[in-house]
Each structure stands twice: as structure tokens, then as C-alpha cells.
């Protein structure tokens, strides 16, 4: 009888150890997945920064006197490229860069020769594609962070988080700013990081007594 009890206790202990090891390894795997997901986000952000740098140089060739807009984009790009930023800080920087890009896009609309430049068009297309990849990588990263943080916050895995060297991770989203930051989509239908819907079309002239007269385009 004593031997049976001993075997039962041994089996329970072994199962408990196996369960603890499984939870421990699960936490470590989740942490590694989060790190890998962030590395992918970082790759796409670096691609974005390179494309924006080339875009600024192209616009400068046609609109060098738009110094304020060009400097604003360059400054925002430099801030976004600051090393050592946390995911939340990077999201804030990228949102600010998106705001600056809107101004750059508005400038490009005033220069037909620039809009027809093949190099500029290619950069627009590649930037739109990169924005889509950033959005996809961001969703995956935030999903893995949510899963990890849930494990860290809930019992029994919360007891193993410390020994496993696992702690809560930051989401790649900016508080307030990111949700409001528009993004230059360059004609991308799917949108990307911080994308906002296009503005509504203006009412047609002559549709009613309150219609405003058309204005001439700016020089």
C-alpha cells in the first residue's frame, strides 16, 4: 500500500515538474517570438526611412524653395531613426513622421513635372507597399505582445515569468498621437501605418444656392 502511495506521489510530482517546464519553455518561446516580430517591424521601418530620404531628395530637385516642408520631413525622419527607442517611442516618432509626410505629399501635388517623374512614382509605389508591410508586421507584433503579457499577468505562468527572465513588453502604438496622425498613402488603396480615409469630394458647382464659387488654383 505504501508503495502504491509512493508511486502516485512520484507520478504527481513528475507531472507537476513537466507542467512547470512546459510553462517555462512556453514563456521563453513567446519572448523570442516577440523579439523576432519586433525585428521584422524594425526592418520595415528602416526601409521606410530610406525611401523617405530618397523621396525628399527627389522633391528637392523640383521644389527646392519648399525648404520648410523639406526640413520638417528631414527632422522627423532623423528623430524616427534615433537608435535605442522602445516600441512605444518608435510609434510616436513614426506618427510624427507620417504627419510631416502629409505636407510633403501636398507639396508634390503642386508640381506636375514632379508627379510625372518616373523615379518619384517608383518611390511612391514602394513606400505604399512598405507602409502595408509595416501595418502587417505591426499587427503580428502587437498580437504576440498581447499573448505574452497575458501569460505574464495570469496565474500560474506569472510565477515563472521572473525566473524565465520574461516581463511585460510594450505595444507598437502611440498614445493619442498615433491614432490622430494621418499618413501619406501615395495612392495605396489598403492604407498603412496610421492611415486615414481620403477627404470627401467637394460638392459640384451649381448643385444648390449655397454652393461656393470655384476658386482658382494656387500658383
Beta carbons of 80 and 90 less than 8 angstroms apart: yes
pLDDT on residue 77: 97
Report the distance separating Cα 118 and Cα 114, nearest Å.
Answer: 9
Beta carbons of 131 and 188 less than 8 angstroms apart: yes
Report the distance separating Cα 182 and Cα 166, nearest Å.
Answer: 35
Specify the pTM.
0.76
144: its cell numbers: 504576440
| Positions in the chain short of pLDDT 50 | 176-219
The residues, any chain, with a CB within 8 Å of residue 100's CB and separated by 6 or more, are 69, 72, 73, 75, 76, 77
Classify the phi-psi angles of 42: left when phi > 0, otherwise alpha if psi is within -120 to 50, otherwise beta. Answer: alpha
Tell me, rounded to whole angstroms, the distance of Cα 110 from its chain centroid.
29
Beta carbons of 120 and 55 less than 8 angstroms apart: yes
Residue 56 DSSP class: H
pLDDT in tens, 59-102: 999 988 899 999 999 999 999 999 999 999 999 999 999 999 99
Report the distance separating Cα 130 and Cα 123, nearest Å.
Answer: 10
pLDDT on residue 201: 39
Report the distance separating Cα 101 and Cα 184, nearest Å.
Answer: 6
pLDDT on residue 8: 83
What string of DSSP letters covers 10-26? HHHHHHHHHHHHHHHHH
The residues, any chain, with a CB within 8 Å of residue 110's CB and separated by 6 or more, are 63, 218
Amino acid at each position: 500500500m505504501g508503495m502504491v502511495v509512493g508511486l502516485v506521489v512520484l507520478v504527481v510530482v513528475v507531472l507537476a515538474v513537466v507542467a512547470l517546464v512546459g510553462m517555462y519553455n512556453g514563456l521563453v518561446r513567446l519572448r523570442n517570438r516577440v523579439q523576432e516580430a519586433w525585428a521584422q517591424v524594425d526592418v520595415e521601418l528602416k526601409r521606410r526611412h530610406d525611401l523617405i530620404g530618397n523621396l525628399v531628395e527627389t522633391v528637392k530637385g523640383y521644389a527646392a524653395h519648399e525648404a520648410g516642408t523639406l526640413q520638417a520631413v528631414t527632422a522627423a525622419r532623423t528623430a524616427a531613426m534615433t537608435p535605442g527607442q522602445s516600441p512605444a517611442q518608435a510609434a510616436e516618432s513614426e506618427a510624427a513622421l507620417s504627419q510631416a509626410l502629409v505636407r510633403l505629399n501636398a507639396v508634390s501635388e503642386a508640381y506636375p513635372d514632379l508627379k510625372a517623374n518616373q523615379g518619384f512614382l517608383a518611390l511612391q509605389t514602394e513606400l505604399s507597399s512598405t507602409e502595408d508591410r509595416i501595418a502587417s508586421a505591426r499587427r503580428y507584433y502587437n498580437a504576440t505582445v498581447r499573448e505574452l503579457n497575458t501569460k505574464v499577468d495570469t496565474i500560474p505562468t506569472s510565477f515563472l515569468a521572473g525566473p524565465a527572465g520574461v516581463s511585460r513588453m510594450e505595444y507598437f502604438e502611440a498614445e493619442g498621437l498615433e491614432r490622430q496622425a494621418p499618413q501619406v498613402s501615395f495612392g495605396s488603396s489598403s492604407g498603412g501605418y496610421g492611415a486615414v480615409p481620403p477627404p470627401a469630394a467637394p460638392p459640384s458647382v451649381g448643385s444648390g444656392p449655397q454652393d461656393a464659387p470655384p476658386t482658382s488654383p494656387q500658383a
